[in-house]
């Protein structure tokens, strides 16, 4: 059973977003087999937590829209990620692993700001709300409210192209 959720400590502290693989051969005693976490000091979220349509699994590759947000107290700066988290979920025995991430921040940088007064959105990476991903043959199409990116399914860091919805 492949499941998505929030990761945390035994004390109830949420530490990030997680993908878990459970062995359910004995329904009365499910066992956690593998887990991979997208850690964040401050905030992690995904539409896949509440909407199963955001969860895409194709040929053993799982893609999920995710967001993280971390605040560095020493610099007063925010660092975050808004994009697709792509995972190889085929290696059940050896472990599920991250294939890469598709970041949509550059689409925001090249776009007119959707939220606010039409100003530049360079500092608002969290506004690239990831919607869905679609797989066509061996290509992953990641869709946000700013555009679409096309990458290789088995190597999401290999960007083939992109389409802006709101160019400046």
Which ranges of the chain have pLDDT less than 70?
A: 91-94, 114-127
**pLDDT at residue 100, rounded to an integer:** 95
Q: Cβ atoms within 10 A of the Cβ of 111, count? A: 21
Q: What is the pLDDT of residue 43?
A: 77
pLDDT of residue 110: 82
Confidence (pLDDT) at 44? 80
- The CB density around residue 73, as the number of other CB atoms within 10 Å, is 7
pLDDT of residue 111: 79
Instruction: Record the pTM.
Output: 0.85
Residues facing residue 102 across a β-bridge: 84
Q: What is the pLDDT of residue 117?
A: 57
The pLDDT value given to residue 124: 55
**pLDDT score of 116:** 61
């Amino acid at each position: 059973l492949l499941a998505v959720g929030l990761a945390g400590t035994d004390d109830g502290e949420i530490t990030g977003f997680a993908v878990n693989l459970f062995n359910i051969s004995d329904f009365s005693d499910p066992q956690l087999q593998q887990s991979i976490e997208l850690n964040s000091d401050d905030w992690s979220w995904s539409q896949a937590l509440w909407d199963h349509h955001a969860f895409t699994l194709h040929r053993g590759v799982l893609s999920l829209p995710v967001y993280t947000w971390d605040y560095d107290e020493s610099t007063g700066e925010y660092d975050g990620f808004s994009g697709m988290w792509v995972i190889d979920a085929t290696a059940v025995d050896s472990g599920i692993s991250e294939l890469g991430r598709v970041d949509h921040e550059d689409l925001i940088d090249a776009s007119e700001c959707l939220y606010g007064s039409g100003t530049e959105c360079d500092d608002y990476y969290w506004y690239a709300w990831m919607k869905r991903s679609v797989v066509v043959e061996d290509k992953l199409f990641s869709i946000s409210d700013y555009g679409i990116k096309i990458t290789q399914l088995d190597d999401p860091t290999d960007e083939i192209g992109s389409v802006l919805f709101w160019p400046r």
